[in-house]
Amino acid sequence: MPTSRSAMITGVTGQDGSYLAELLLSKGYQVHGMVRRSSAFNTSRIDHLHMGGKANPNFFLHYGDLADAGSLRDILDLAQPDEIYNLGGQSHVRVSFDQPEYTMEVNGTAVLRFLEALRFHLKHGGKAARFYQAGSSEMFGRAKPPQNEGTRFEPRSPYAVAKVAAHHEVVNYRESYGLFLCNGILFNHESPRRGENFVTRKITRAAARIKLGLEHRLTLGNLEPRRDWGFAGDYVEAMWRMLQQEEPDDYVIATGVSNSIRGFLDLAFATVGLDWHEFVDTDPRFLRPSEVDDIEGDASKARDLLGWKPTMDFASLVEMMVEADLELARTEIRTEG
């Protein structure tokens, strides 16, 4: 049985899961990550934590899936976590229009499944665990900015509808059973570990590769929407702070500054000394049946109660991502000789 504090993370192989695992390990936690079975290796973001000479002895991986109640119960039983971070899910909004039922299954129904697994765990003598649910600014949909905890949800995608369902499940279980459950309502957060089919990484990767001659064009969808983009490393700190409070609650996490896709393009291509207008095409296949046009968060509750504020501004974030993608592209060129 663990003696230090123990945490369970679903979605540990994702962008946020990898930063959160690093944060918790640095605080001395024993970290149990749930990994879903894949036909190809899916652990590249966390390999530095569990492989080779630098493997962290407090880091454990377990196969499981949010669609599988048995695996959730087993990991709870084995890990006896003090804190649970539910970051797993189908995280791509555009894809949720292609896979609406699956998205509801793993982003919505799975949260109910997890909460029931937690109740089962407690009934059978398991340790009481605090629970973080990865909610999203997408839930606000077309509600006017700035959005905060009191703003009405007006979801615009199967992804957002599923996240709204999960949000209410968490509130309902908190009120019904007195469990320590928190919803984080996080606005877009990015990093060099961002998936390559989200717009920020798609742009920074293309800017770097076009600069170094590995690619020539970039094709995008709608360039007008505005997003409130922050750094993922800052946002996992907020998740942890939520679970350290005396009472469970829900918090918006955002920078309070929004920019359009055009604004992101301006900065990313300027970082490599290019004008994006010469390289970018648009294609309707990247459009969404319904779009979220403008989101900008008001995180004053998190600032006042959690003492949280972002450390990285928009320009530094874009520059960091472009520099990281330049380094990856240079490595590719060196490797290919």
Pick the closer one to ligand GDD by CB: 82 or 296. 296
- Residue 102 Cβ vs ligand NAP, minimum distance, rounded to whole Å: 8
Binding mask 103-142 for ligand GDD (x = CB under 6 A): ---------------------------------xxx----
Which residue out of 83, 138, 169, 190 is catalytically annotated? 138
121 with 77: CB under 8 angstroms? yes
Q: Kindly indicate which of the ranges 59-67, 116-124, 243-251, 266-274 contains the residues binding ligand NAP, using the contact rule CB under 6 A.
A: 59-67
The answer to whether 186 contacts ligand NAP (rule: CB under 6 A) is yes
Total Cβ atoms within 10 A of residue 312 = 19
Residue listed under structure tokens 């970082």? 271
Pick the closer one to ligand GDD by CB: 79 or 161. 161
- Strands 181-186, 250-253: parallel, antiparallel or unpaired by DSSP? parallel
Which of the 8 DSSP states describes residue 38? -
For this structure, is 136 an active site residue? yes
Total Cβ atoms within 10 A of residue 104 = 20
Tokens of 7: 């945490």
Q: Kindly indicate which of the ranges 37-45, 87-95, 309-317, 319-327 contains the residues binding ligand GDD, using the contact rule CB under 6 A.
A: 87-95
40 with 10: CB under 8 angstroms? no
CA distance 107 to 86: 10
Sign of CA dihedral 22, 194, 235, 66: negative
255 with 295: CB under 8 angstroms? no
Q: By CB under 6 A, name the one of 31, 104, 106, 162 that touches ligand NAP.
A: 106
The answer to whether 198 contacts ligand GDD (rule: CB under 6 A) is yes
Residues that bind ligand GDD (CB under 6 A): 91, 93-94, 136-138, 187-188, 197-200, 202, 220-222, 225, 227, 261, 286, 288, 291
Catalytically active residues, by annotation: 136, 138, 159
